Amino acid sequence: MDYSTLISPALGILVGLLMGLTGAGGGILSVPLLVFFLGFPIAEAAPIALCAVALASSIGAVLGLKDGILRYKAAGFMAIFGLALSPIGLWLAPKIPNAPLQIAFSFILLFVAIRLLSQARNAIKGIPEESRQPPPCLMNPSIGKLQWTVPCARALMFAGGLAGFLSGLLGVGGGFIIVPALKRYTDLPVKSIVATSLGVLAIITGGGAIFSAVRGGLNVSVAAPFAIAALGGLLMGLLLGKKLSGPLTQLIFSVFALVISIGLLIKGVLLLTTY
- Calculate mean pLDDT across residues 121-131: 73
- The reported pLDDT for the residue numbered 132 is 66
Helix (H, G, I), strand (E, B) or coil at 69: coil
**Cβ within 8 Å of residue 204, ≥6 positions away:** 79, 82, 83, 86, 160, 163, 164, 167, 173, 174
C-alpha 50/C-alpha 54 separation (Å) is: 6
Q: How far apart are the first and last CA of the chain?
A: 31
- The reported pLDDT for the residue numbered 81 is 94
- Calculate mean pLDDT across residues 253-259: 80
Residues 257/263/266/271 CA torsion (nearest 10 deg): -110
C-alpha 191/C-alpha 65 separation (Å) is: 12
- The reported pLDDT for the residue numbered 167 is 84
- The reported pLDDT for the residue numbered 2 is 56
**Cβ within 8 Å of residue 75, ≥6 positions away:** 61, 196, 197, 199, 200, 203
- The reported pLDDT for the residue numbered 189 is 82
- For 204-241, how does the pLDDT look when each residue is reduced to its tens digit (9 = 90+)? 888 888 888 888 878 888 888 998 998 888 888 777 76
- For 79-91, how does the pLDDT look when each residue is reduced to its tens digit (9 = 90+)? 999 999 988 988 8
Question: Would you say residue 275 has pLDDT above 70?
Answer: no
Give which of 31, 18, 50 is closest to 167, Cα–Cα: 50
C-alpha 151/C-alpha 77 separation (Å) is: 14
- For 164-201, how does the pLDDT look when each residue is reduced to its tens digit (9 = 90+)? 898 888 877 677 788 888 888 888 887 788 788 888 98
- Calculate mean pLDDT across residues 109-119: 83
pLDDT band, very low/low/confident/very high, at 155 (cuts 50, 70, 90): very high
Percent of the chain residues topping a pLDDT of 70: 91
- The reported pLDDT for the residue numbered 1 is 46
Percent of the chain residues topping a pLDDT of 90: 10
Burial class for 259, CB neighbours closer than 10 Å (0-12, 13-18, 19+): exposed
Question: Would you say residue 161 has pLDDT above 90?
Answer: yes
Helix (H, G, I), strand (E, B) or coil at 186: strand
pTM above 0.85, yes or no: no
Enumerate the β-bridge partners of residue 138: 147
- Calculate mean pLDDT across residues 152-167: 91
- For 46-97, how does the pLDDT look when each residue is reduced to its tens digit (9 = 90+)? 888 888 888 888 888 888 888 888 888 999 999 999 999 988 988 888 888 8
DSSP 218-263: --HHHHHHHHHHHHHHHHHHHHHHTTS-HHHHHHHHHHHHHHHHHH
